[in-house]
């Protein structure tokens, strides 16, 4: 479990810029930096799983992200996360796999679980 979580974290850090760009596009009228901290980081986790992992089915990524948002976010967080991830998924399926970025597994690119935090204020 620890290795799985470390790989998720490292993958999000490795692809954070791309993830945030895609989230900003999918969340109309919302800048990523203006999202609630819980919502923003749950979205980053869900987006990473949707876009860069092969082992996590989309339905599982959605369910887990929505449950995290429901448990730790505001009353509206689960609906917000669901809507943004759904739009992100629809947009990603219109792209070719080559445009989704490098390997999903950070260790495959020589990256190790990062000791660095996400962006300041994340």
> 117 in a domain, yes or no?
no
Q: What is the CATH number of the domain that holds 60?
A: 1.10.940.10
> Which range of residues forms the domain containing residue 6?
2-100
In the chain, the number of structural domains is: 1
What SS3 state is found at 13? helix
Mean pLDDT in the chain?
83
Mean per-residue pLDDT, 68-75 = 96
> 116 in a domain, yes or no?
no
Distances (CA, A) of 41 to 70, 75, 99: 13, 16, 23
CB 71 within 8 A of CB 29: no
At 103, is the pLDDT very low, low, confident or very high (cuts 50, 70, 90)? very low
pLDDT at residue 106 is higher than 80: no
pLDDT digits (tens, 9 = 90+) for 72-82: 999 999 999 99
> 74 in a domain, yes or no?
yes
Q: How far apart are CA 59 and CA 80, in angstroms?
A: 16
> 105 in a domain, yes or no?
no
> 96 in a domain, yes or no?
yes
């Amino acid at each position: 479990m620890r290795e799985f979580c470390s790989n998720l974290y490292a993958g999000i850090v490795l692809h954070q810029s791309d993830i945030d760009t895609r989230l900003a596009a999918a969340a109309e009228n919302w800048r990523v930096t203006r999202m609630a901290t819980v919502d923003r980081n749950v979205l980053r986790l869900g987006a990473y799983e949707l876009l860069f992992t092969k082992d996590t089915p989309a339905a599982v990524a959605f369910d887990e992200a929505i449950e995290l948002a429901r448990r730790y976010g505001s009353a509206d967080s689960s609906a917000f996360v669901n809507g943004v991830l759904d739009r992100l998924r629809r947009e990603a399926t219109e792209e070719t796999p080559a445009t989704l970025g490098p390997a999903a597994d950070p260790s495959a690119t020589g990256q190790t679980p990062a000791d660095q935090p996400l962006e300041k204020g994340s």
